[in-house]
Structures are given as C-alpha cells and as structure tokens.
Amino acid sequence: MKQRFRYMVLWLLIVISIACSILVPSVFAAGGINNGIPTLFFNDTLWRSDEYYPALGYTVGVTKDFWIPLSFFEEIEYIKVRRDGSRLTDSFVISDTKTGKYLSFDTANNDYAQTELGTYKFIRTTTYNKERYVPMLELCAHFGWIYEMAGNGITVRIADGRQTQQLNSLIEKYSPKDPQTTDSESEILTESQTAAPDSEQNPEEYHPATVHLTFEDIEAEYTLQILAVLKAYQTKATFFITGEQIIAHPSIVADIIAEGHSVGLHTMTGVEADVLKTEAMLASFEEENELLYALTKRKVRLIRFPEGSKSSLMMLTDRQKQALADLGYVLWDWNVAAMDHSSEYDIDMVYTKILNGIQRCYNPVIRFHCTEKTLAVLPMLLQYISEHPLIHVKRITDASDPVVFP
C-alpha cells in the first residue's frame, strides 16, 4: 500500500512538472509582466525571454543597477554580438553597426572592455542560467542609450530615441494598473546618460542623501586648490593617500588633517600588483600607517585598495578581509565613480555622471582623483548640493557604515 502511494505521488509530481513546462511559457508569450522579476523593454518592445534570462537587479553599495543578458542585444537589429565559443564564453564583442561603437570583452583576464577608440572601460560582468550578463548603466553610457526605470526597479527600459510610447503606457498595456494604485506608485524614473538632471527641481521632492566625497592621488598642483574649494564651501572630505605620497607631500597631508578632513590608507605604492598576496597587503598598510604616525602622531583605520577590493587583478577573499579586520582596518570602496581621471570623460560628462549617482543613491560614495577636471567639477557639485537641503556631505569616520563591492 505504501509503495502504491509513493508511485501515485511520483506520477502526480511528473504531471505537475509537465503542466508547468507547458503553461508557464505561455503566460510569458501572452505578454504578461512577470511579478518579482524586473520587466525589460527595448524601445516599445517587451523582452520575451525574461523567464529564462531576466534582467537582474543588483546593488553596488546602495546603487541600483541591472545586469542584462547578451541574448537581449542579439535581438536588436543593428546590434551585433560576437561570441567566441559557448554562451558562457569569456570573450565577446557588442557592436553598434550604426555608430561604429563597440565593447570588446575578455573576462578571463580582467574586468575591462576595450572600446572602438582602443581605450578601456572598467565593466564587471556576471553569469546567470548559463548566460553572460553585462551591466545596463555602463552600456547605456557607452552607446548613448537612455535608461528608464519604473516602480522602484520593477520595470526597466533601454531606449535609443526611436521609442514612440511612454514607459507608463507600456506598463498599462502589459499589466493594467490596479484601480487602487496611486500615480506616485507608478512614477517613472528616467536616467539619461547624456542629459544632466535639473538642478532647479523642488528640494522637497528630492530624496535625502548623505554624500561622502573621497579623493585619491594627491599632488601639489591640484590638491591644494581642491582643499581651498572645500574650505570655501565648508565641506569635509576623505583623502586616501599612498605611502609614497606621504613621503613626497608631507605638508599637504598635514594640511588635509589640519582642516578637519579624514585620511585613509591607499597602500604604500598604489600599485595592485604589490599587494596581491595577503602578507604583502598587510605589510603595506602597516608600513604606511607607521609612516603616517611618524609624520602626524596618529594612525588611521580607513583603507582603500588601488582599484578597489575587486578589479582586473584583485579579488579580495573573505580570509583576506578578515585578516585586515583583525588588524583593525575598515575597508572602503565606492558606488559612484566620477571618472575624472579618464580621457574619455569631459567635464560635463563627469558632472552628469556624479549627479546621476547622487540621484540613484541614498548614501553616495564618490570616487574622485586630484585632477584638473576634479577642480572644475567640484565647485559646480558643491553649489548644486548647497541648493538641496536634503543632501548632506560628510567625511568618512570610523563609525561610518562602509560601502564595499559585493
């Protein structure tokens, strides 16, 4: 009797499995929006394969973004995707046949993609369900597309200017709005990578944000001027400094501390290859801290790696993180890269990228370098922040909640 009951249960499970394999795909084919998975559009077209290859929402610190499957781009008529091997290939190219722009990836060796100009962009990919995924914001920025998000990430869209319908209309078309839903619940957030946000918007409608300004690569020409701008706006920041920079610019380091800014360690040389092994990274931070103590009579706990805790060369392990924590160090990465050191970004692009980051994040950690572009953008940014009373700038302290790459 028991054996017969087991067979009945087994057959019931098989029947349910077959039914699901038939019925579930038909729901997606009918155009319904999948609850719980971000719905993805290109222009006015719904991505039909979200059952198998959905848009994946993810967070870096508190920054919301989405990974998009390569198969999504293969369905756009003027976009070509070349894969060297299987779907999970490490090498692939995404190219726009209309503009000639492309990104060539070799994820086995690094997290950088080569552009049509021969330069490189830091773009971290991932895999899901035996498919390669790329980050939506980075691709929109490179190819000049518009990124739209609605319902706190329930619906996202990539648009190239040929769209004819508002995203609200598409949402209503594929998923009729509940009569009890308010307009504010279906509000559309549009993030264009080419147009700066309106700095005159009502501050009462702007979300509160605590901004951390962080600076790297101190040197005499621009760092002193950056300090002057910060002082003029009564703003405190955080400077991650290498041991070599402490030796080369002791007076600047002293000025940074005297003016109330925070200081963090950035390894002795600022070269990733020098701190890949656990023993080397611990020794580097300890040596730098001793150097800082000799100059200022104080040691610090804040640390940042040259290109963050995850990069083309480095993937910090849990064991290494624990070893750093055991020495009292607090690791910091960032969630808004200003790209002020990149030749591909002009001043307007840097400024727009930072504002987009502030709009997306409730606690933006902005990574600056001490460059001419930084000096040009910083007064504009601080003026913008001063006009929005819900946005506050604070220096990083030992008590701050760190932002670390996932």
Beta bridge pairs of residue 216: 240, 369
Amino acid found at 62: V
**Quick check: 345 and 354 in contact, CB under 8 A?**
no
- Measured CA angle at 42 (ends 40, 48), to 5 deg: 55
Distances, alpha carbon 50 to alpha carbons 20, 155, 252, in Å? 16, 12, 53
**Quick check: 327 and 286 in contact, CB under 8 A?**
yes
Between β-strands 238-241 and 262-265, what pairing exists: parallel, antiparallel or unpaired? parallel
Beta bridge pairs of residue 347: none
Q: What is the pLDDT of residue 4?
A: 56
For the chain, the straight-line distance linking the first and the last C-alpha, in angstroms and rounded, comes to: 52
Instruction: Compute how many other C-beta atoms are within 10 angstroms of the C-beta atom of residue 225.
Output: 15
**Quick check: 303 and 264 in contact, CB under 8 A?**
yes
Instruction: Compute how many other C-beta atoms are within 10 angstroms of the C-beta atom of residue 386.
Output: 13
Positive or negative, the Cα torsion across 258, 264, 265, 270? negative
Q: Which of the 8 DSSP states describes residue 401?
A: P
Amino acid found at 111: D
**Quick check: 244 and 268 in contact, CB under 8 A?**
yes
Residues with Cβ within 8 Å of residue 203, at least 6 apart in sequence: 387, 388, 389, 390
- pLDDT tens-digit readout, 106-154: 877 677 888 888 888 878 788 877 888 888 888 888 898 988 877 666 7
**Quick check: 132 and 70 in contact, CB under 8 A?**
yes
Q: What is the pLDDT of residue 33?
A: 45
Beta bridge pairs of residue 46: 41
pTM above threshold 0.85: no
**Quick check: 240 and 214 in contact, CB under 8 A?**
yes
DSSP secondary structure string for all residues of 203-215: GGGSPPEEEEEEE
Q: Which helix (H) or strand (E) holds 146?
A: strand 146-150
Instruction: Compute how many other C-beta atoms are within 10 angstroms of the C-beta atom of residue 263.
Output: 21
Amino acid found at 13: L
Rounded CA-CA distance 17/68 in Å is 28
Give me 294's structure tokens.
Answer: 């000799």
What are the backbone dihedrals phi and psi of residue 124, each rounded to the nearest 5 degrees, phi first? -90, 125
Instruction: State the residue for tokens 């929109």.
Output: 140
Judge residue 330's burial from the number of C-beta atoms within 10 Å of its C-beta, 0-12 exposed, 13-18 middle, 19 or more buried: buried
Number of residues written out for the chain:
406
**Which domains does the chain show, CATH number per domain?**
39-192 (no CATH), 209-393 (3.20.20.370)
Distances, alpha carbon 293 to alpha carbons 44, 145, 269, 385, in Å? 60, 49, 17, 34
Where do the DSSP E strands lie in 161-305?
A: 188-192, 209-216, 238-241, 262-265, 302-303
Where do the DSSP E strands lie in 164-259?
A: 188-192, 209-216, 238-241
User: In the chain, which residues have pLDDT < 50?
Assistant: 14-35, 60-62, 176-206
Positive or negative, the Cα torsion across 34, 36, 37, 42? positive
Helix axes 250-258, 220-232, angle to 10 degrees: 10
Q: What is the pLDDT of residue 135?
A: 86
